[in-house]
Structure 1
Amino acid sequence: MDFGYSPRTQELRAAVSAFMDEHIFPAEGRYWAELEANTQAGRRWTPLQVIEELKPKARAAGLWNLFLPESEYGAGLSNQEYAPLAELMGRVLWSSEVFNCSAPDTGNMEVLVRYGTPEQKKRWLEPLLAGEIRSGFAMTEPAVASSDATNIEASIRRDGDEFVINGRKWWTSGGGDPRCKILIFMGKTDPEAPRHSQQSMILVPMDAPGVKIIRPLSVMGYDDAPHGHMEIQFDDVRVPASHLLLGEGRGFEIAQGRLGPGRIHHCMRLIGLAERAIDLMCQRALQRVAFGKPIAQHGVTQERIAEARCRIEQARLLTLKAAWMMDVAGNKAAKAEIAMIKVVAPQMACQVIDWAMQVHGGAGMCQDFPLAFYYAQARTLRFADGPDEVHRNAIAKIELGKHLPPRH
């Protein structure tokens, strides 16, 4: 198991880092100013020009669609090769969109690459790869505990050459963006089938009759405009049968294929976010004086900085191990490691950001620093790909299974 970066990764890492230094970090102030100006003008859900202007520059630099593992459509990187690039992008929460490497589009593009028909790829994948449109993923429902996906009640009913879709979804990330043109929708095609064969996934255009956005959901007070997390009602929405992905009853199979790489992306971006937080914590601790000496000289501050560094390094190594196992043995062989990083990385990031906020005092809670926003995003990821409890249960079952007597 070698965690050294390949020559290609080193080259891309240097290029992404240089792009961040030249274009992304200097644009952070403009991002927030533009969002505030749009809000004041009643255009909060308008795509931000600062991001749109940077996309052609990233594409021209060859830093586009880097996330697609071993695919003719992307850079052809393995999960382990892409992971350190995702970490760099994670240092600024919106920067991954500049490289066309942001969720949920990344997961949706991977689904279309793996499971889409030539027609589906032509109509939806190619515009997504070009950054011309955006997409959403409609799975979670407000009426049931969606951490158990077998609870999902939305229906996908066959009617001749069409499917009729009914249900209410929420936390459909990206649904607020006017560029969002397509949703991947998960629902039941056969409630009487075996438990994990009831669900299917289907492509639903945002402009299909019967698709209605109910409201944006806020994340600890942030609405994440212009991206947004929407609650959406689907009333007798009709789509052609050709919009079904892979086949009836194969929704869980698609979900597992989608979530493996996505979890690596989320965790590495969180590690990048934690790196940014520890930078801010150290800078603040060296600049501020409390009780007669710099905050950096207080023992509790030094202890927290040291512990933060240890936790970041541990989380990174575990995530890289998961990526390496996915590359050499497949997602199924790496299922324990994938579950572990989904517990470890968000909790690590939440704690490191919390310590950084503490060092900043009142400034850590307000808009003068991005730490409160970072914390809200990190805390969300303890739910986004399944709650901690689900992943812990999976880890425990795997561990207990090692001690059970062999089956005969």
Structure 2
Amino acid sequence: MEKGNILREWVQLLEDVNEVQRRRAAAIKAIEMGRGGISKVHEATGMSRDTIRKGINEVGSGIGIPKRLRKKGAGRKKIKDKNSNLKKDFDKIMEENTAGNPMKTIKWTNKSTYAIANALERKGHSISEDTVGRMLKEDKYSLQTNKKMYEGKSHADRDAQFHYINEQANKFLRKRQPIISVDTKKKELIGNFKNAGKTWRKKGKPEEVNVYDFPTLANGKAVPYGAYDIALNKGFVNVGISSDTAEFAVESIRQWWKQLGKKHYPKAKELLITADSGGSNGHRNRGWKCFLNKFAKETGFKITVLHFPPATSKWNKIEHILFSFISKNWRGKPLVNYQVIINFIKNTKTKEGLEVFARLDRKKYMKGRKFSDKEMENINIMYHEFHPEWNYTITPK
């Protein structure tokens, strides 16, 4: 078992002991770990370094456990419980700086506890790094290494673009206009192939699947393109059977509007789309803009597109709010046909109330289509002042 897993299991065991036992167990673990042990235990448990040092002194002096012990939750109130505005400001800061692994239901932040504490101090809160660390753990954040945070070289204006997206999204929310986060999920082979994960089955009766998962053995492929409604917490997935093209991406948005959006936004005049900077909905993709222009003419919508900077796709809400739960729902189960995939997607739910709708798109989308300068000139597009390559609005003529 890896050291990280052992430490996590040890931290979970501490939840069932009293405060003195917890302090002394942490002290013993810090002593065992040697140099840097106090810092490592502090990071793993959220306990202050002073508390761990106190435990080390107690262990070294052989002081017995006192007869009277505080119950868990007793003692001074937590700072966030005494100050309701602190939690609100903390949540706001984290909302703008949080990502989720698209294949796991965890979240992490790109800000250090020092940076978060400074941001909170600017809002009038006196708070330590240790307290910020405890708040992060209580909200189920986890420490991650840099390799899991960044997907490539980051842009200098990366954070500024995140703030710009957040500002524009808030404007749309205030106007009650729809906002969708879009992306293509990982393609899936159709057939009796092994799918990552485990499911509960009778002992000795695992589900039998093909030994190999070569594409030539598949009965086809599924290309799930999703649209996640940020305000309503509802997802829509258009499952294609051919290629992930710009035409397919916009058709998926069109189907979201016909089957879901139109019902909830009957008076909509605008649409905000947040998308990655590459792929079928990339900011350099001419087809993406051409097909969006056609959709704008059909609906009369003024369509604003805001792209995430390069190498930041994990910050796209659809990745960790929709796609991760779909993957969790079908883990360990072979995707033997398209109907099975549609059913798994439709039955994806969360305790936060996520609802997901899905359809099968049998149209064949052809790759490699070229779009001329003349076609681009016919698009009524307004590029924003801030990073026009990432932010633009298409208006029907």
User: What range describes the TM-score normalised by the shorter chain of this pair?
Assistant: under 0.3
Query: Larger Rg: 1 or 2?
Result: 2
With normalisation by structure 1, the TM-score equals 0.22
With normalisation by structure 2, the TM-score equals 0.22
Higher helix fraction: Structure 1 or Structure 2? 1
With a CA cutoff of 8 Å and minimum separation of 6, indicate the structure with the bigger relative contact order: 2
